[in-house]
Amino acid sequence: MAEIVLDGVSKRFPDGTTAVHDVNLTIADREFVILVGPSGCGKSTTLNMIAGLEEISAGELRIDGVRVNERAPRDRDIAMVFQSYALYPHMTVRENMAFPLTLAKTPKPEIAAKVQHAAELLDLTALLDRRPANLSGGQRQRVAMGRALVRDPKAFLMDEPLSNLDAKLRVQMRTSISRLQKRLGTTTVYVTHDQTEAMTLGDRIVIMESGLVQQVGAPQDIYDHPANRFVAGFIGSPAMNFLPAEVHDDGLHTVIGTIPVRRAGLPREVVAGIRPELFQDTRIRHGASFTGTVDIIESMGAEKLAYFTFEPGTSFTQETQVVARLDAKSPISEGDPTTLWYDPAAVHLFHPETGVNLT
Ligand code: ATP
């Protein structure tokens, strides 16, 4: 059992920087929670406070109901996996993995059994006598995981553990971490700036920006119901299209024409948010449409991205780019006037100043 509770947790550095502001979060036993956000948003600082590597300036951190603010990292029964792996170059894989247990003066036969078990789980058995210099990046990463695993800790904390791997390996390791976490059922808090990693790995995602939690939820819920414009733009790839819109009786006037959405109680101006994947080509003529000229098509294999540029007009002073994600068979081509269709009910509306989702 390992429930981690952050109760109004903040971090203020001596130079006055507030890196984390009033975070309230309950991480359930066995849960896999991802802290995600752009560089500098405070995710590593939050993780370091849970680990005990960074002092908590305000609020309380509880593990299984016990306040641990003042407890040293080694007394929190938590294992951390770093981006750098932090392996000892002069030790073999076996010695590296055994290290935390050797330090804790665990009896030798018990160490051997635990290392063996972790090596089997991580497919490292054949590599136990090698040194880190003779391992690939992915193998080193697994050794770092193994070293965390042998301790059988209450929780794993991982700070960008895959960021040093190439794209293909990252995807492979992502699925193996996911499988391992499900199998072990150990509470895990995982930091990443990569929204795909966040979407695919976590039971729940915590999206942070400027030290503040912007939204907490299951990946699909966050994608479907982003709380604000920041979250809407951060989750989803390519990012959501944002169009300044004037609210009129017949709908929202935007650079792509009128979006037939009529809602009471909207401010005079809003920002309309349309996911690139909401657009359909002329094979599915349904809902509302707009017509524009495709500047550029990027072929991605299974799908293609079509970019439109709308020049500033009388009411909209900014050039606006709109991207649509269509399947590879879509009969569109660069330079042609093209009509795309979308469901106006799925358009998000954001407050122009606060960014709050009004839909
Ligand atoms: P990254 O992905 O780049 O690691 P992050 O989201 O993990 O970013 P943090 O490392 O938690 O962000 O940093 C949050 C904020 O706190 C940043 O503005 C950073 O500059 C600041 N910060 C971090 N450590 C210190 C420190 N020791 N003293 C002052 N400010 C710090």
Residues 303 and 199 grouped into a single domain: no
Residues 229 and 244 grouped into a single domain: no
The answer to whether residue 88 is domain-embedded is yes
Please give the distance, rounded to the nearest whole angstrom, from the Cα atom of residue 20 to the centre of ligand 1. Answer: 9
Residues 179 and 62 grouped into a single domain: yes
Is residue 19 within 6 Å of ligand 1 at its C-beta? yes
Please give the distance, rounded to the nearest whole angstrom, from the Cα atom of residue 52 to the centre of ligand 1. Answer: 16
CA atoms within 13 A on the CB side of 154: 18
CA atoms within 13 A on the CB side of 111: 16
Is residue 273 within 6 Å of ligand 1 at its C-beta? no
Residue finishing a domain among 233, 262, 284: 233
Is residue 39 within 6 Å of ligand 1 at its C-beta? yes
State the pLDDT at residue 316: 66
The answer to whether residue 265 is domain-embedded is yes
Please give the distance, rounded to the nearest whole angstrom, from the Cα atom of residue 170 to the centre of ligand 1. Answer: 24
Residues 212 and 258 grouped into a single domain: no
- Each residue's pLDDT expressed in tens, for the chain with a length of 359 residues: 799 999 999 999 999 999 999 999 999 999 999 999 999 999 999 999 999 999 999 999 999 999 999 999 989 999 988 877 789 999 999 999 999 899 889 999 999 999 999 999 888 999 999 999 999 888 898 899 899 989 889 999 999 988 888 888 888 888 889 988 998 999 999 999 999 999 999 899 999 999 999 999 999 999 999 999 999 999 999 999 999 999 999 999 999 999 999 888 899 999 999 999 999 987 777 889 999 999 999 999 999 999 999 887 656 667 889 999 999 999 888 998 899 999 999 999 999 999 999 98
Is residue 38 within 6 Å of ligand 1 at its C-beta? no
Residues 195 and 256 grouped into a single domain: no
Please give the distance, rounded to the nearest whole angstrom, from the Cα atom of residue 230 to the centre of ligand 1. Answer: 19
Range of the structural domain that residue 306 is part of: 239-350
Residues 257 and 147 grouped into a single domain: no
Strands 212-217 and 204-209, bridge-based pairing = antiparallel
Residues 289 and 171 grouped into a single domain: no
The answer to whether residue 358 is domain-embedded is no
Mutate to test the pocket of ligand 1, among 41, 48, 84 (most ligand atoms within 8 A of CB): 41
Is residue 16 within 6 Å of ligand 1 at its C-beta? no
Residue finishing a domain among 233, 250, 284: 233
The answer to whether residue 110 is domain-embedded is yes
Residues 200 and 81 grouped into a single domain: yes
Please give the distance, rounded to the nearest whole angstrom, from the Cα atom of residue 68 to the centre of ligand 1. Answer: 22
Is residue 15 within 6 Å of ligand 1 at its C-beta? yes
Ligand 1 atom nearest 208 alpha carbon: 6
State the pLDDT at residue 341: 95
Mutate to test the pocket of ligand 1, among 11, 15, 17 (most ligand atoms within 8 A of CB): 17
Query: Cβ atoms within 10 A of the Cβ of 167, count?
Result: 7
Residues 199 and 331 grouped into a single domain: no
Is residue 48 within 6 Å of ligand 1 at its C-beta? no
Residue finishing a domain among 188, 206, 233: 233
The answer to whether residue 355 is domain-embedded is no
Q: What CATH number does the domain containing 300 carry?
A: 2.40.50.140
- Report the domain count for the chain: 2
Is residue 193 within 6 Å of ligand 1 at its C-beta? yes
- In this prediction, the answer to ipTM > 0.85 reads yes
The answer to whether residue 356 is domain-embedded is no
Ligand 1 atom nearest 191 alpha carbon: 7
Residue 50 CA to residue 322 CA, distance in Å, equals 41
Q: What CATH number does the domain containing 207 carry?
A: 3.40.50.300
State the pLDDT at residue 315: 62
Residues 325 and 284 grouped into a single domain: yes
Residues 137 and 68 grouped into a single domain: yes
Is residue 37 within 6 Å of ligand 1 at its C-beta? yes
State the pLDDT at residue 280: 92
Residues 76 and 189 grouped into a single domain: yes
The answer to whether residue 31 is domain-embedded is yes
Please give the distance, rounded to the nearest whole angstrom, from the Cα atom of residue 188 to the centre of ligand 1. Answer: 21
Residue 172 CA to residue 219 CA, distance in Å, equals 20
State the pLDDT at residue 165: 82
Is residue 139 within 6 Å of ligand 1 at its C-beta? no
Query: Cβ atoms within 10 A of the Cβ of 15, count?
Result: 5
Ligand 1 atom nearest 44 alpha carbon: 7
